[in-house]
């Protein structure tokens, strides 16, 4: 089959790698940039995606480059522990991995470059789907949540930017937040996150730092005020770390909620953030991109490369899992990032009650692991 993939992000590269296993496939990957790269901070990878890494032979390298995360701890501005979501509540020995996105990306890209049936067309922005659709048996759109191509197909859809984004940076540090994602919160108006992110190119341990910020303030915020607030949350023993925060350069990231009623039209299929962008509150975006690419390959194999049947099958296979996580991230995001103090108070009350109960701790950890598919039943994603 001739396969075109638009976008060389996590979704595009991982689907190229799966599809390249069939040596009859000839794959062309497009990206608008002249260099295949990813910018951004660390990401948290969930057990649901680790299964896919094993299938792609990426797991060992990934574990070497990342740091195991055993739990997520939230502390409020009064020093009270609001939540502690532990992977251990899901299963013993269960963990997430914090990793710098560029190292994961590089492993994936290097593997793609080794495949003789994958070709890269860089510095090549696709503007019109119609121009490319007929050139390929299958056209995969994986160009991220702000896709300029989505509205060129007659599928019911929506795209909405969240009102809050975040400032982020990465910092070399040996000590802070070992094996734990830490969040400091003041209702839903302040959120300060520290995520262990494995090692950098110099083999030094790094953490990623996030500070929640409304988009309306992105050009007018005062970094001095933000640093003062960060200092408030860090104990004196973390003075060294605070000094590093003062020296760091910060970038601003935004995210959008993307909905598509179905993910395919004729021989075109949308995967990754292009199909279902969500807020990073649950740490699922990259995970979903990998899972999508696995199921797309599986649907093609199960349907003997009959595109019509395979893409119908793909939408069916992915819909429940993706709907659940899109809804969950839509529900949770204002509890962490909103102008309304009420949401933060509600979150603190809800989480304080639910952390006392074993069954709700189990559900929270299952959601975190990226496995749940429904609000009502306990059914998990099956590979």
Binding site for ligand FAD (CB under 6 A): 6-12, 30-33, 43-44, 125-126, 142-144, 148, 166, 168, 253, 255, 272-274, 280, 283-287, 289
Q: Which is nearer to ligand FAD, 119 or 308 (CB)?
A: 119
In the complex, least distance from residue 40 CB atom to ligand FAD, rounded to whole angstroms: 6
Q: Which is nearer to ligand FAD, 217 or 357 (CB)?
A: 217
Residue 176, SS3 per DSSP: coil
In the complex, least distance from residue 134 CB atom to ligand FAD, rounded to whole angstroms: 17
The answer to whether the CB of 209 falls within 8 A of the CB of 193 is: yes
Chain centroid to Cα 255, Å, comes to 11
In the complex, least distance from residue 349 CB atom to ligand FAD, rounded to whole angstroms: 26
252: left (phi over 0), alpha (psi -120 to 50) or beta: beta
Residues 6+ positions from 48 with CB-CB distance below 8 Å = 287, 291, 369, 370, 371, 381
Q: Which is nearer to ligand FAD, 276 or 347 (CB)?
A: 276
Checking DSSP bridges between strand 164-172 and strand 138-141, what pairing results, if any? unpaired
Q: Which is nearer to ligand FAD, 138 or 274 (CB)?
A: 274
Q: Which two tokens stand for residue 94?
A: 């269960």
Q: Which is nearer to ligand FAD, 110 or 239 (CB)?
A: 110
The CA distance from 206 to 91, in Å, is: 27
Q: Which is nearer to ligand FAD, 97 or 311 (CB)?
A: 97
In the complex, least distance from residue 356 CB atom to ligand FAD, rounded to whole angstroms: 27
Checking DSSP bridges between strand 138-141 and strand 268-270, what pairing results, if any? parallel
In the complex, least distance from residue 260 CB atom to ligand FAD, rounded to whole angstroms: 13
Question: Which parts of 256-377 fold into alpha helices (H)?
Answer: 273-276, 285-302, 307-336, 341-354, 358-368
- DSSP per-residue string spanning 299-310: HHHHTTT-HHHH
In the complex, least distance from residue 263 CB atom to ligand FAD, rounded to whole angstroms: 12
């Amino acid at each position: 089959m001739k396969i075109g993939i638009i976008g060389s992000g996590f979704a595009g590269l991982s689907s190229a790698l799966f599809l390249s296993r069939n040596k009859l496939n000839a794959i062309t990957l497009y990206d608008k940039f002249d260099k295949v790269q990813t910018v951004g901070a660390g990401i948290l990878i969930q057990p649901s995606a680790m299964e896919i890494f094993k299938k792609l032979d990426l797991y060992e390298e990934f574990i070497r480059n990342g740091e195991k995360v055993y739990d997520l701890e939230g502390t409020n501005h009064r020093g009270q522990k609001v939540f502690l979501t532990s992977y251990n509540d899901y299963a013993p020995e269960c963990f997430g991995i914090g990793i710098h996105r560029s190292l994961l990306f590089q492993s994936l890209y290097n593997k793609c470059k080794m495949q003789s049936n994958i070709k890269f067309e860089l510095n090549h922005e696709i503007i019109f789907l119609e121009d490319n659709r007929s050139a390929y048996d299958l056209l995969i759109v994986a160009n991220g949540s702000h896709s300029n191509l989505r509205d060129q197909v007659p599928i019911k859809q929506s795209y909405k930017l969240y009102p809050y984004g975040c400032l982020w940076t990465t910092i070399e540090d040996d000590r802070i937040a070992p094996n734990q994602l830490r969040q400091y919160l003041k209702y839903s108006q302040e959120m300060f996150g520290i995520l262990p992110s494995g090692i950098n190119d110099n083999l030094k341990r790094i953490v990623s730092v996030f500070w929640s910020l409304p988009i309306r303030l992105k050009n007018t915020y005062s970094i001095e005020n933000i640093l003062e607030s960060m200092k408030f949350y860090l104990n004196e023993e973390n003075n060294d770390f605070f000094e590093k925060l003062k020296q760091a350069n910060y970038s601003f990231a935004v995210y959008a909620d993307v909905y598509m009623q179905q993910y395919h039209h004729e021989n075109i299929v949308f995967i990754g953030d292009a199909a279902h962008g969500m807020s990073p509150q649950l740490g699922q975006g990259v995970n979903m991109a990998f899972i999508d690419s696995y199921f797309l390959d599986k649907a093609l194999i199960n349907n003997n490369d009959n595109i019509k049947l395979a893409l119908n099958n793909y939408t069916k296979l992915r819909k429940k899992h993706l709907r659940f996580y899109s809804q969950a991230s839509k529900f949770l995001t204002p509890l962490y990032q909103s102008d309304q103090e009420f949401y933060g108070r509600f979150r603190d009350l809800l989480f304080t009650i639910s952390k006392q109960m074993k069954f709700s701790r189990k559900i929270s950890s299952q959601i975190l692991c990226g496995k749940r598919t429904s609000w009502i039943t306990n059914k998990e994603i099956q590979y």
